[in-house]
Amino acid sequence: MSVYSDVRASIRKGALAALSEFTNPQVIFSHLSGTEPAESYVVINILSIEQQGHHSTSTLANANETLTFQVAYEVMVQFSFIGSLSGDMSQSFTQNINNNPLTRLELQRNKLGLMRKSQIRRAPQKRDTKWVEYHNLDVTFNYVVTTNQLVDVIEGVVLEDNLAEVPLLIKIPESIIYP
């Protein structure tokens, strides 16, 4: 999977954990062009994924011939709570994502760490002739991506100097058989 797909799946799992007190909460992603749920629901809108700092690379001398590097990202996400239960859902979400040990464990399990969150903003919207309750909250997570890459390994080096008066042959390691 790509970083974006992994982040999406992780954020959704974390959101479901933070809304565990609601029965089958509907959590969808923005801009999918699907039908609007009939009950109150949550929309996840990933606003940005930005690399923080440089990578961290393992030594090149590990036993399984792989190069491992890690990159830290900050992921800014807007959660929109929509419908008659949006106030309750947003308040429960912000309480759980910040304080509930089970929710924080689910975030950790999905490689997410809570960095910052905004206050809940009430933003009702008029649809046709009635007002629909909306509450928004921005959350910034950190997310670490670990990549393993198979690399070619140099198993030995042979240095040969035939131009010297006394030919020189250096083998590293010395056990290499040179024709």
CA–CA distance, 146 with 70 (Å, rounded to integer): 4
CA–CA distance, 147 with 45 (Å, rounded to integer): 26
C-alpha radius of gyration, the chain, whole number: 26
pLDDT at position 142 is 95
44 within some domain: yes
CB-based burial, 16-50: b 16+ in 10 Å, e otherwise: bbbbeebeebbbeeeeeeeeeeeebbbbbebeeee
pLDDT at position 159 is 79
pLDDT at position 36 is 86
170 within some domain: no
pLDDT at position 128 is 87
161 within some domain: no
pLDDT at position 55 is 77
What's the number of domains the chain is made of? 1
Phi, psi angle pair for 43, to nearest 5°: -115, 130
111 within some domain: yes
What is this structure's pTM?
0.79
pLDDT at position 178 is 64
89 within some domain: yes
In this structure, which amino acid lies at residue 111? Answer: K
Which structural domain range is residue 29 located in?
3-152
100 within some domain: yes
137 within some domain: yes
Q: What average pLDDT values come out for the chain (179 residues) when binned by 10 residues?
A: 88 96 93 88 96 77 76 95 96 95 95 95 92 96 87 76 79 72
pLDDT at position 35 is 86
CA–CA distance, 179 with 177 (Å, rounded to integer): 7
37 within some domain: yes
**Secondary structure string (H, E, C) spanning the chain:** CCHHHHHHHHHHHHHHHHCCCCCCCEEEECCCCCCCCCCCEEEEEEEEEEEEEEEEECCCCCCCCEEEEEEEEEEEEEEEEECCCHHHHHHHHHHHHHHCHHHHHHHHHCCEEEEEECCCEECCEEECCEEECEEEEEEEEEEEEEEEEECCCCCCEEEEECCCCCCEEEEECCCCCCC
pLDDT at position 62 is 62
CATH of the domain at 63: 3.30.70.1700
